[in-house]
Every structure is written in C-alpha cells, then in structure tokens.
Amino acid sequence: MKIKPLIVLLIPLMIVTACRKDFDEIDTNPEGFTSVSDGSMFNGIIQSLMLSGNEQFYINNEILYAQTQQAALTKAAWGNYTIGTEDMWAGYYKTLPSIRELERRFSTYPASTELTNMKAMLAIVKAYKTFKMTDLFGDMPYSEAGYGYQDLTKLYPAYDAQRDIYLSLLSDLEWAAGAINDTAALAEPLTTFTRFDKLFNGDLLMWKKFANSLRLRHAMRMAEKEPEIAAGIVEDIVTNGLPVLYGYDFITPKLESACIWPASNGISNSSVSWSFREHNGLRMGSNIWHQMTYGDSPDGSEIFDPRAFIFFEGDQDDLWVPYPQLPEAGTPSAQGIPYGSHRDDVGNYHIKNNVNYSPFNFFIIGDENNMPIILMTGAEVHFILAEAYFRGIGVPADPDQADIEYMNGINASVEWWLNLSQRLRLPLSGVKFTDKITIPQWLNAASVLGRFGSWNAETDEEKLQFIYTQRWLDAFRQPWEAYAEARRTGMTPREGDPISHFRMPYPPSEQQYNAVNMEAARQRQGGDEPTVKVWWMK
C-alpha cells in the first residue's frame, strides 16, 4: 500500500530531472555575463557615457544651465528633477557591475603588456564616470558598489566620503597613465578589445593624454581643500612633460578632445533634440550674451565671438534678443517652438512660430549624428594650466606662461567650435550648418582676444576671471563641468546673487533601498539639500 504513493511521487521528479538536461541554457541568468565578450562589455561601458534624455531634460536643461547662467531658464515649470537624478543614479550603478566584472576577469588573465593596457583603459573610463557622479552628489557608494552579483553582503554598499573617492580615482589615473604602453606592437587580446573602443579607436596615446588631463582637472578642483596633493599632481604632469590633450602645441593647432561621436558609434543621439523639444524652456540669457558682444545691437553687429553663432541663433526675425537672466515683473514670456522637429526641412527651417528670444542653435541640438557628447577638450587643459601658472599651483607663478596658456586656450576653443560647425547637418533633410548660417569672416580667436586678452584686464583678479570666463564658455555643452567651476571659483560670469545651489540631492529610491547607508552619508555631509556644499568647495 505504501509503494504506490512512492511511485507517484518519484515519477514527476524523474520527469523534472530528465527535462533539466535540455533546459540548462534556457535557465541561464540573462542578466549575467557568461556569454558577453570583454570587448562588447567595454563597448557598453563606453556607450554609457552618452547622456540619457531624462538627464538632459531634468538636470541639464531644468537646473544646470540656469545655475551656471550659460543660458536663461524662461520658465521653471517642471520641478521633477528626481526623474533625472534617478536616471543618472540608475545608469551609473547599472554600468558599475560590468566594470567590476571586467576587473574580475582581468585579474584571472596571464600578465601581459596588452592586458595592462586594457586594465588602464577601463580604469580611465571608471574614473571619468565616477568623478562626474561624485561632483554632483558628493559622498556616494563606490568601493563596495557593483559587487552585489558576486557578493551578497555588498547588496547595500556603504557610502564613501568624496575625499576618499577623489584620492582613489586620482591614484588610479596616475597608475593608468604611467602603465599604458602606446609603443608596443598590437597583439591579442588587445587587438580585438580595441575594436570596441568607440572613444579613441584604440589610440593608446590618446588614452594616456585623457588620463593625465583628468588628473589636472580634478587636482585643480580640490586645490583649495588639498593644496599639497593638488600641487604635486600639477607638478608631476608639467615638470615631467607628461602627455595631455592639446589644443595648441606651441603655434600648431591640435584641437584634441575626448568625445563620444554618435555616428562613429553607429547610433543616433536623438535624446538631445527630444530633451530640448519637450522642455522648450531654454533661451540665450543676457549673462552669456554680454560675454560675446560689445553691446545689445539686435542685428548682431557688435558680436565679437564667433561661438555666439554656433551656440545660439536669432529669433523669428533673425534678431539677437537675450532673455533677461533676472527677469523683472512684466517681462514678456518666451514664445514659439524653436526646437520643433519640423525645422529639419529645407523649406521649414526658418519657421520658429514667433520665437521672441534667441534660442539655442538648432544644429547643435538637432544634429543627432555629428554633434558629439563632449567629455573634455584640449582648450580646457590650457585654461587649467593658465590658472596653475597664474596662481602658482604646482609650478612657480609665471604670468607670462599663464598668458601663453590662456591665449592657446582661446585659440583652441574658438577653432574647435568653428571646425565642428563645418560638420553639423540635420539628420533628415541633410541641411548643413553652412547652408543656413554665415559667421562673419572677421570673427575668430583674434576678435575674442581683442576683448578678453589679458592685457585688457585692469587687475590680477580680473585676469583670473578672464580665465574662468573662457573655460566656462568652452564648456557650453558640458553644463555639469561649468556647474563645478561656478561652485569652485565663485568667479564665473554671473548676474545677481552668488550661486547657492551646490549639489543634487540623492534620488528617492536610495531612501527605499539603501536607507541606513544614505542616512549616514547625509549626517556626515550636513544634510541632503542643494545648499549643502560638496567636499572640495571652500
């Protein structure tokens, strides 16, 4: 009587066991890394440097452009910035496990020059991504983060202090720049790996330059809090002649930069045009306008900076009309739809539906293929070095050398943007920038120096402000970098009160999923509000 029930129980078990033999592959975790090559995983990490639509809409367009005053926010009607912070947070922490997995794999491979180069490239990308996040949020999970799929005890990672994150990343960059061997013959596994390098296409010297340039950027950023460490990094790079991104090499234009070029990645960067079209709240503000023109002539005859024609365009009547940075009661509201997709047409390009203030240039937000995501330019490196020589950070104070770096920075920035404008075209109609916009031939780097040459400054403070102004202008499509410089220096161009917005609050999901560690970070920093300064601020 007991045998029959036993048989009944064993039959399903035998069926399940037999079936399992054919379902092992189906049951493999689709989120795992078992079938992903090193190169394709690295390609995904590179592509994660692209900005999401929500980041651009809710963070850049709604907050950062207004805080930096690189543009004017004509209406603050959304108030949903947490959509942006959630998107940025999720994007970073979804990519970090891939970085950790590659680090784990690399630790198991036989040592070789090729492997060292691969480790260095990964370390540089990780540093860029993490610096951007910590500069916006302050303390954040880092040293324990990204390991949850390997170690369940790290599902709720502790927050690292921003200072510790900075020092760790700067150490990684120093190692990476020194470890890269850009003269060795290309061999496997690096040969295949670099086919997935959509940043520098396997150019190891450019990777080395990017690493050293990032060291300069973030050493200067923390110079007020860690002056000795910052000075040591600048000294190391300058005195040892370490390679950096060049805007100008003496008098030779190099115009180097670190950029994600959509067309080269085989993608269309439609999120930019979407974010501007749906937001429709940004216009040229009076603050940036007054850094590019001698006066307010609406016909543009007093513009001295050719970048004005690349960053912005005229209103419905092709007149240059800035929106007041600090609008008074009764200021007419912004009208029109300058960012509508209808403009990607030969016949409809000019139709802006009664736009009454100068908008962003349609080409830099509408070209989904040739407008890059800018990570860093050679011009920025010149401005960093100009500040270092001017203030004597890591190098002896040298006003003459500071002037050389400063002028090279202006030359590099103006020429880089002018060269870019020659490449811009609308994705559907193929209309070129040069078909619709004519930049007067007399506007160039010399015309910018005619206004912002250091010889025009009456005081040392004004000379330093010139450096900050030009670095701020060069970062026009990197508002997160301009935001960092506005907070760090307090001297970027500004109308009205000093900046009082210093960080982005943590996304609400952290309160739900990692509340204990987030609360510890909040208390350590003095709060989680935008008015709480990040570590490297004065």
Reported as a single tens digit per residue, the pLDDT across 171-207 is 999 999 999 999 988 889 999 999 999 999 999 999 9
Placement of tokens 């962003």 in the chain: 360
d(CA 67, CA 287): 12
Q: Centre a 10 Å sphere on the Cβ of residue 41 and count the other Cβ atoms it contains.
A: 18
Q: In terms of pLDDT, which residue wins out, 5 or 108? A: 108
SS3 call for 452: helix
d(CA 379, CA 350): 33
Evaluated on CA atoms 173, 177, 182, 186, the torsion sign reads negative
Look at residue 34 in the predicted model and tell me its pLDDT. 54
Q: In terms of pLDDT, which residue wins out, 226 or 24? A: 226
Look at residue 251 in the predicted model and tell me its pLDDT. 85
When pLDDT is cut at 50, 70 and 90, the band that residue 391 belongs to is very high
Mean pLDDT along residues 412-439: 97
d(CA 65, CA 482): 9
Percentage of the chain with pLDDT > 70?
93
* Peptide bond preceding 327 in cis form (omega within 30 of 0): no
Burial degree of 257 (CB within 10 A; 0-12, 13-18, 19+) = buried
Look at residue 77 in the predicted model and tell me its pLDDT. 72
pLDDT at residue 418 greater than cutoff 80? yes
d(CA 103, CA 105): 6
When pLDDT is cut at 50, 70 and 90, the band that residue 42 belongs to is very high
d(CA 319, CA 322): 10
Percentage of the chain with pLDDT > 90?
87
Reported as a single tens digit per residue, the pLDDT across 60-114 is 999 999 999 999 999 987 779 999 999 999 999 999 999 999 999 999 999 999 9
d(CA 472, CA 485): 7
Question: Would you give the DSSP letter of residue 375?
Answer: E
Tokens found for residue 309: 């024609």
d(CA 384, CA 230): 12
Bridge partners, residue 425, by sequence: 432
β-pair type (140-141, 159-160)? antiparallel
Mean pLDDT along residues 412-416: 98
Whether the CB-CB separation of 247 and 413 falls below 8 Å is answered with: yes
Tokens found for residue 231: 């000075």
Mean pLDDT along residues 210-237: 98
Look at residue 3 in the predicted model and tell me its pLDDT. 39
Locate the DSSP E strands across 440-483. none
Listed residue (428, 359, 383) closest to 74, CA to CA: 359
When pLDDT is cut at 50, 70 and 90, the band that residue 400 belongs to is very high
The H or E element that residue 253 is part of is strand 252-253
**Distance (Å) of CA 270 to CA 51, 66, 233, 508:** 10, 23, 39, 27
**Distance (Å) of CA 92 to CA 58, 77, 86, 419:** 17, 27, 10, 32
Look at residue 250 in the predicted model and tell me its pLDDT. 77
**Distance (Å) of CA 178 to CA 147, 161, 204, 366:** 27, 26, 12, 39
Q: Which domains does the chain have, with CATH numbers?
A: 38-271+366-496+503-525 (1.25.40.390)
SS3 call for 264: helix
Reported as a single tens digit per residue, the pLDDT across 45-54 is 999 999 999 9
d(CA 162, CA 204): 29
pLDDT at residue 2 greater than cutoff 80? no
